[in-house]
Amino acid sequence: MHVLVCGGGGYIGSHMLKKLAAGGVELSVLDNFSTGHREAVRWGTLIEGDLLDPASLERAFAGRRFDAVMHFCARSLVGESIAQPYDYYANNVSGTLNLLQAMRAHDVRRLVFSSTAAVFGQPVSERIDEDHPKAPINPYGASKLMVERILADAASAYGLRSVALRYFNAAGASPDGDIGESHQPETHLIPNVLRAALGSGPALKVFGDDYPTPDGTCVRDYVHVDDLAQAHQLALAYLDDNAGAHAFNLGNGHGFSVREVIAAAQAVSGQEIGYTVEPRRPGDPSVLVASSEKARRVLGWSPAYTALEPIIASAWRWHRAQPY
């Protein structure tokens, strides 16, 4: 099998490359490195290109036969999407359309798409399953939901087989510590908490302590990046026998508050981690916790990491080794 991984220089994409390579899959990697890292592309053949440039996509597909595409390219910062919605719709929607058109032109009929829990907006139930109302409250979530609709239409019109995987909060690092999470700027909680513990990052800020949650801080469902990669492998296999457009929610099913994450990081690192409380950020729901029962039942997905401290411990091993 030959898989094109779009965005393989990114956090989840690089972990996906590692897992696919371990399974003997032939890999090509498309990335423009606007946010990804060249050093993270350790597996596969690199094709530098941009989804917003149809000519570079044509070069990527020409002369190669891909059995499937995994699509991780996206702009993904909620606050930035509110400030720069045009950029998000251009990159996440128009870029994906360009990719889909290139796939159709070259008869590539299977896609695993990186979606997000942000398609749901404010939760109306304790656990969010696939049937939960979809009412995104920021352009990032709206752009991903638009792509999901495009994939459904593509299934009907062109026979494209696809799976959209709606991640909750991706976290952790490869257990052997060779790849991990690095963004510029870093906006994700766990790496910012750990960098604060190391004294290598900015002062830690907690955005809002007046949410309707037990301790007033946002509650999120943290799912380990290796478990996400496993779900992608299962989704790709699922498309062998299942036509149409499908969607699955991916989380560990447990919610942890910002303050609980800080406490767990203190336990793992042995460091006291101070923080200041800032006003809420626009577009942040108070609670996002997944029901992943469908992924478990249909895909056979069984996440290895369900407790918070082992997830943070894997990230801590990677961050401690970085030359900050």
Token pair, residue 83, equals 């400030």
Q: How many helices (H) and strands (E) does the chain have?
A: 11, 14
Residues 131 and 263 in one domain: no
Which residues contact residue 271 at a Cβ distance below 8 angstroms, ignoring those fewer than 6 apart?
Answer: 197, 198
Residues 207 and 125 in one domain: no
Which residue type is seen at 236? L
Residue 76: pLDDT band (50, 70, 90) is confident
Question: 122 φ, ψ to 5°?
Answer: -70, 125
- Residue of 142, 149, 118 lying closest to 132 (CA atoms): 118
The overall average pLDDT reported for the chain is 93
Residues 200 and 154 in one domain: no
Higher-pLDDT residue of 313 and 201 is 313
pLDDT for the residue 162: 98
- Residue of 275, 132, 286 lying closest to 215 (CA atoms): 286
- Are the C-beta atoms of residues 210 and 284 closer than 8 Å to each other? no
Total domain count, the chain: 2
Summarize pLDDT for 188-219 with one digit per residue, the tens.
899 999 999 998 777 899 999 999 999 999 99
Residues 228 and 84 in one domain: yes
pLDDT for the residue 97: 98
**Residue 186 pLDDT greater than 70, yes or no:** no
**pTM more than 0.85:** yes
Alpha carbon distances (Å) from 57 to 23, 28, 52, 106, 287? 26, 12, 9, 11, 38
Higher-pLDDT residue of 323 and 317 is 317
Summarize pLDDT for 225-284 with one digit per residue, the tens.
999 999 999 999 999 999 999 999 999 889 999 999 999 999 999 999 999 999 998 767
- Residue of 188, 192, 191 lying closest to 204 (CA atoms): 192
Summarize pLDDT for 99-149 with one digit per residue, the tens.
999 999 999 999 999 999 999 988 888 899 999 999 999 999 999 999 999
Parallel/antiparallel/unpaired status of strands 276-278 and 222-224: unpaired
Residues 97 and 234 in one domain: yes
pLDDT for the residue 300: 97
* Last residue within a domain, chosen from 230, 250, 270: 250
Residues 97 and 215 in one domain: no
Residue 288: HSE in the Cβ half-sphere, 13 Å Cα cutoff: 25
Residue 137 maps to which CATH number? 3.40.50.720
pLDDT for the residue 203: 85
**Residue 185 pLDDT greater than 80, yes or no:** no
| Domain that residue 276 falls in | 172-220+253-320
Token pair, residue 272, equals 């006291």
Catalytic residue flag (residue 140):
yes
Residue 176 maps to which CATH number? 3.90.25.10
* Last residue within a domain, chosen from 232, 250, 268: 250
pLDDT for the residue 183: 60
Average confidence (pLDDT) over 272-298:
91
11, 88, 89, 140: which is the annotated catalytic residue?
Answer: 140
